[in-house]
Amino acid sequence: MMNSIQEVLVTGGAGYVGSALVPKLLAAGYRVKVLDLYIYGRDVLAEVKNHPNLQEIQGDIRDRTLLEEIMPGCDAVIHLACISNDPSFELDADLGRSINYEAFFDLVTVAKESGVRRFIYASSSSVYGIKETENVTEDLPLQPLTDYSKYKALCEEVLLNKRSPGFVTLVLRPATVCGYSTRLRLDVVVNLLTCHALNKGKITVFGGAQKRPNIHIEDMTDLYVKSLQWPDEAIDGKIFNAGYENYRVREIAEMIRDTAKKVTQRDIEIAAVPTNDPRSYHISSAKIKQELGFVPSHTLEEAIADLIAAFQSNKLINPLDNIHYYNVKMMKHIELK
């Protein structure tokens, strides 16, 4: 295996992206340790739970003693675990800071001291804030608008400052991930609007002119697998955006309406409502294509079609109200501290 990376720690491996990534890592021949609180259930990795190369650890990334116990033997870390969007962060800013920022110092230090050779950090394309320019590239200044995006940006600095020969760092700034996974989130724009189209027959769009870059969950997880395989010199100390087309929210709603109509033969209404949320992101993914040859191979339409198939096959239980699909509702319910 290239770079002789054999064992990978995935923090947040039982989350929305992690639950789609871990089976791919196992299929690619890696030994995988998952560290997760498992607040969305122990069954999200059910299809691989008996895999001989999988170790599932229920625990908190803020627990340094636990990190020191499980990190030795790992060649790489893919760090996904976080309070993962603005509304979840606003629920408890101290909690968000402790998980998304304060815990990061120990995580990186313990990884480096334990002999981890490659650290891949899932940042966010929201770190740019609102930009007027059409192509938001990696060299533009960061202007995070929220605590969530501010701490994402600060962690990039922490990681890059720890970079040294033998400790390769890679920062990825993904667009909003969309599509089906076994730990599904219905609080991200494509997934949420598709849920409403199928289950309410109506899509409510707040504003509509804002741009929201998205990336299919299959592409995002493929990218994490590839990030273990590229040679050190191709990625060391680098920062890459990772997104697909930059659509306006209204355009996404129309795509969902049209795709859902083909499948259900039902007319779906789009209702526009004013919004005071100005966040509009549009990122360029030219650099990752140019330097690493990475191009998404899945479309937004495919993500929508996959979600519709999941709704129609009754894979989802009570999708409008089930707290398992909504981060804020679940965090409130368990009073995460």
Domains of the chain: 2-183+213-245+280-297 (3.40.50.720)
Phi and psi at 83, nearest 5°, equal -80, 115
pTM, full prediction: 0.96
Binned at pLDDT 50, 70 and 90, residue 43 comes out as very high
Distance, CA of 205 to CA of 228 (rounded, Å):
38
pLDDT of residue 84: 87
Q: What is the dihedral of CA 188, 193, 198, 199, to 10 degrees?
A: 80
Distance, CA of 243 to CA of 292 (rounded, Å):
14
Q: Per residue in 146-170, pLDDT tens?
A: 999 999 999 999 999 999 999 999 9
Distance, CA of 255 to CA of 229 (rounded, Å):
35
Residue partners of 105: CB distance under 8 A and separation at least 6? 158
Q: What percent of the chain has pLDDT over 70?
A: 99
Question: What DSSP line would sit under 159-220, residue for residue?
Answer: HHHH-BTTBEEEEEEE-EEES--SS--SSSHHHHHHHHHHHHSEEEEESS-SEEEEEEHHHH
Give the count of alpha carbons within 13 A of 213, CB side only: 24
Picking from 189-203, 267-281, 294-308, which range would have the lowest pLDDT averaged per residue?
Answer: 267-281
Distance, CA of 306 to CA of 48 (rounded, Å):
21
**166 DSSP β-pair partners:** none
Distance, CA of 116 to CA of 5 (rounded, Å):
9
Contact 67, 106 (CB under 8 A): yes
pLDDT of residue 1: 38
Helix (H, G, I), strand (E, B) or coil at 8: strand
Q: Per residue in 49-86, pLDDT tens?
A: 999 999 999 999 999 999 999 999 999 999 999 998 88
What's the mean per-residue pLDDT of the chain?
94
Distance, CA of 117 to CA of 71 (rounded, Å):
12
Q: What percent of the chain has pLDDT over 90?
A: 81
Bridging pattern class, strands 76-79 and 269-273: unpaired
Distance, CA of 37 to CA of 12 (rounded, Å):
8
